[in-house]
């Protein structure tokens, strides 16, 4: 198990990983939670100060009853940036975390330097009859692993041998994901029309073998953000930071170092 610190933001207690030094990087995790992301976070921390909170309701973080939407979480993290007085931050999100990051960026980029969205959900690109995002709540765990990972064996967990506390975290993560993303399913109907407000350099990272959200979906998402760039990560599915942590981190760190003097990335 990872060792978490505790932070309180507007009365909400959040657990968080804080590691490394250098440029500030706020990492927002996927629905899996933070327990499976140590390798990529440690690699990012070789060149950045990484702050990675656990979302409200996930893991050991509190979720007030009034906090029911991704929008609510986005505002909480804007408060976190303000309370810590973080500026010129690279905001990195994966899947659910990328949705939250996008919601933050359309509200305010005052404290952001760059934005990285990996395997992002959060918008609707097809018509009403088109499923943009696979229905993960209708899948067995084996079916989900086959769709979400280039190598499903990476995700196999032996619950009988896992500590009870870790099994409880897995269950809490799944419950919290359903609370925030069940309806409307995995998107905010208003977000796509607001993405033009993102005015910091933006990078989309996508696993080449992601069967949860397609490359076409990712490219459409990218096209809605002015000047954003789209990059594939080979031999990875929906969680490239888990399957290819070195490649994922290298992409993020290289992007942090590239010229961002213009507020529009080209």
| Residue ranges of domains in the chain | 5-257
Distance of CA 226 to the CA centre of its chain: 20
3 state DSSP class of 203: strand
> What is the mean pLDDT of the segment spanning 103-130?
96
pLDDT category of residue 35 using cuts at 50, 70 and 90: confident
Q: Is the pLDDT of residue 80 over 70?
A: yes
> What is the mean pLDDT of the segment spanning 122-128?
92
Instruction: Determine the straight-line distance between the first and last CA of the chain, rounded to whole angstroms.
Output: 40
0.85 cut: is pTM over it? yes
- Please give the pLDDT value at position 2: 62
Q: What is the CATH number of domain 5-257?
A: 3.40.50.1820
Strands 202-207 and 229-233: parallel
> What is the mean pLDDT of the segment spanning 31-36?
86
């Amino acid at each position: 198990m990872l060792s978490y610190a505790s932070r309180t933001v507007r009365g909400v207690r959040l657990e968080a990983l804080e590691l490394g030094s250098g440029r500030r990087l706020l990492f927002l995790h996927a629905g899996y939670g933070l327990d499976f992301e140590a390798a990529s976070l440690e690699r990012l921390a070789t060149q950045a100060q990484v702050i990675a909170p656990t979302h409200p309701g996930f893991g050991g973080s509190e979720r007030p009853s009034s906090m029911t939407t991704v929008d609510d979480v986005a505002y909480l993290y804007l408060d976190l940036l303000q309370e810590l007085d973080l500026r010129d931050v690279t905001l990195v999100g994966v899947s659910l975390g990328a949705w939250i990051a996008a919601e933050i960026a359309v509200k305010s980029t005052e404290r952001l330097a760059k934005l990285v969205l990996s395997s992002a959900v959060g918008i609707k690109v097809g018509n009403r009859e088109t499923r943009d995002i696979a229905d993960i709540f209708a899948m067995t765990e084996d079916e989900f692993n086959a769709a979400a990972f280039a190598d499903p064996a990476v995700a196999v967990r032996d619950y009988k041998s896992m500590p009870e506390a870790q099994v409880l975290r897995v269950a809490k993560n799944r419950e919290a994901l359903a609370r925030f993303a069940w309806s409307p399913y995995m998107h905010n109907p208003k977000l796509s029309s607001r993405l033009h407000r993102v005015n910091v350099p933006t990078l989309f990272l996508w696993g080449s073998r992601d069967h949860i959200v397609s490359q076409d979906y990712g490219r459409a998402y990218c096209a809605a953000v002015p000047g954003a760039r789209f990059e594939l990560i080979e031999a990875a599915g929906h969680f490239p930071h888990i399957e290819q942590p070195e490649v994922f981190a290298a992409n993020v760190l290289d992007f942090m170092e590239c010229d961002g003097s213009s507020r529009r990335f080209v």
